[in-house]
């Protein structure tokens, strides 16, 4: 059996590099979900509610008919298919085609899948050539991003250094309390989603939650989104972004807060006195924030008038402990 994974990875990399060349902000989910191999993010320096999902397909042109299929549930206004094709004999012949929702809906529908069939000759016809990736396609992608409606979402903003440390401390604490249990250190993703299930009291316009996890990395230049993930749980789309900076994390977080105050509800996961001035200023102008931090007996370092929740509980739940074991 032929292993197609290397070529699929090559195809995805080719698509990503093409989009980066035209200035698109890219992220990759940790796994393929809702058809998304890659994500295009709109204006990552200010707001993340505009997202396009990319599925990349790679095929080697053979003398027989080739085909790709897309599950119809993936095909929404924010979904784009990129098809990377190389000639089986002449590897220098390569093509990149782009298909939007209205294009995919013209394919043959078989059961729950849209199917596109093609040959080495058919890709040379006008039907395919007008789908080749070029500046016109780039302009169309930009227009699609512009048309995407901005809605008020709830964001969980996380000081990654604090969360990493408290996850480790909490794991060690419960490991000593329950030596008979095979406890494992939970992922940041699972802890973050538990935080919203326990403490989110905001009403958003859609079932979408944005997570922004900020960490320090001396090897990056400036501040960047270095990874992304989408997890769907209980009909909630959780969009997780991992930021890295070679500067001070609190400065990136403060900048983010200032940009989204009128757009997003905020749950803030941190516990450092350095954030107090910012939080007091926001409190004074009536901005509502929910804090998740240490308890007073656990040695919390931030004192404000905001509602707050204890960080230990979502961590314990992510470790598999029941409510009465916290």
pLDDT score for 206: 59
Which pLDDT does position 148 carry in this prediction?
76
Pair 120, 189 in one domain: no
> What local confidence, expressed as pLDDT, does residue 228 receive?
79
Residues 44 and 157 in one domain: no
Same domain for 203 and 320, yes or no, is yes
State whether 126 and 174 are in the same domain. Answer: no
| 201 shares a domain with 135 | no
Beta strands in 4-78 (DSSP E): 25-27, 38-41, 51-61, 66-71
Q: List residues bridging with 56 in a β-sheet.
A: 82
Percent of the chain at pLDDT exceeding 70: 89
Domain CATH number, residue 43: 3.40.1350.10
pLDDT digits (tens, 9 = 90+) for 9-67: 899 999 999 999 999 988 776 444 567 888 887 765 444 457 788 999 999 887 788 99
Residue written as token pair 């729950």: 112
Place of tokens 């040379």: 124
pLDDT, tens digit (0-9, with 9 covering 90-100), for 130-139: 999 999 999 9
3-state secondary structure of 173: helix
How much is the pLDDT for 287? 80
- The pLDDT of 106-122, averaged and rounded, is 93
β-strands 108-110, 113-118 pairing: antiparallel
- How high is the pLDDT of residue 30? 45
Q: Three-state DSSP class for 72? A: helix
C-alpha 141 chain-centroid distance: 19
The DSSP code for 323 is: G
Residues 121, 179, single domain; the answer is no
**Are 165 and 242 members of one domain?**
yes
pLDDT given at position 47: 40
**Residues 6+ away with beta carbon under 8 Å from 195:** 156, 267, 269, 292, 309, 311, 314
Both 231 and 88 in a single domain?
A: no
Q: Tokens 């897309």 correspond to what residue?
A: 70
Extract long-range pairs of 107-111: CB within 8 Å, 24+ residues apart: 107/70, 109/72, 110/69
- Compute the mean pLDDT over every residue in the chain, rounded to the nearest whole number: 85
- Contact status, residue 249 vs residue 215, Cβ threshold 8 Å: yes
Q: What is the pLDDT of residue 135?
A: 95
Q: Which of 103, 129, 147 is the last residue of a domain?
A: 147
Higher pLDDT, 226 or 149: 226
Q: Do 143 and 170 have their domain in common?
A: no
Q: Are residues 84 and 127 in the same domain?
A: yes
CB distance 198 to 309 below 8 Å: yes
Q: Which two tokens stand for residue 263?
A: 């757009």
- Could you say which of 99, 122, 147 is where a domain stops? 147
Q: What is the mean pLDDT of residues 207-215?
A: 85
Q: What is the residue range of 72's domain?
A: 5-147
Which of these three, 147, 171, 190, is where a domain ends? 147
Give the whole-angstrom CA distance, residue 10 versus residue 8. 5
Domain count, the chain: 2
Contact in structure between 271 and 162 (CB atoms under 8 Å)? yes
Residue-wise pLDDT tens digits, 220-267: 888 888 887 878 777 777 888 899 999 999 999 998 887 766 556 789
The region of weakest confidence among 5-14, 95-104, 201-210, 241-250 is: 201-210
Question: Which residue carries 């250094």 as its tokens?
Answer: 161
Token pair, residue 155, equals 């964001």
Query: How many residues comprise the chain?
Result: 326
Q: How, if at all, do strands 289-293 and 264-269 pair?
A: parallel
Q: What is the pLDDT of residue 262?
A: 55
Spell out the residues 6+ positions from residue 213 whose beta carbon is closer than 8 angstroms to its own: 158, 160, 163, 188, 192, 240, 241, 242, 243
């Amino acid at each position: 059996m032929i292993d197609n994974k290397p070529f699929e990875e090559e195809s995805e990399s080719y698509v990503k590099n093409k989009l980066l060349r035209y200035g698109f902000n890219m992220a990759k989910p940790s796994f393929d979900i809702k058809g998304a191999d890659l994500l295009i993010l709109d204006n990552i320096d200010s707001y993340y509610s505009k997202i396009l999902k990319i599925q990349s397909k790679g095929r080697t042109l053979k003398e027989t008919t080739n085909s790709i299929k897309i599950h119809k549930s993936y095909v929404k206004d924010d979904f784009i298919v990129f098809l990377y094709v190389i000639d089986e004999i002449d590897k220098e012949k390569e093509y990149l085609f782009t298909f939007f929702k209205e294009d995919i809906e013209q394919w043959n529908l078989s059961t729950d899948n849209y199917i596109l069939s093609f040959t080495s000759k058919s890709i040379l016809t006008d039907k395919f050539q007008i789908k080749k990736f070029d500046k016109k396609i780039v302009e169309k992608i930009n227009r699609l991003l512009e048309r995407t409606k901005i809605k008020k979402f709830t964001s969980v903003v996380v000081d990654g250094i604090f969360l990493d440390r408290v996850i480790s401390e909490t794991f060690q604490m419960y490991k000593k309390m329950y030596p008979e249990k095979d406890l494992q250190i939970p992922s940041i993703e699972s802890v973050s989603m538990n935080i919203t299930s326990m403490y989110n009291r905001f009403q958003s316009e859609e079932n979408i939650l944005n997570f922004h996890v900020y960490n320090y990395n001396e090897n990056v230049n400036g501040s960047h989104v270095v990874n992304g993930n989408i997890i769907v749980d209980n009909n909630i789309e959780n969009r997780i972004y991992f930021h890295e900076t070679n500067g001070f994390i609190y400065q990136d977080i403060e900048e983010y807060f200032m940009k989204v105050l009128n757009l997003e509800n905020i749950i803030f996961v941190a516990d450092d006195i350095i954030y107090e001035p910012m939080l007091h200023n926001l409190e004074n102008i009536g901005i509502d924030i929910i804090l998740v931090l240490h308890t007073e007996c656990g040695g919390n370092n931030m004192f404000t008038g905001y509602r707050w929740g204890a960080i230990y509980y979502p961590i314990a739940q992510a470790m598999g402990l029941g409510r009465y074991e916290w």
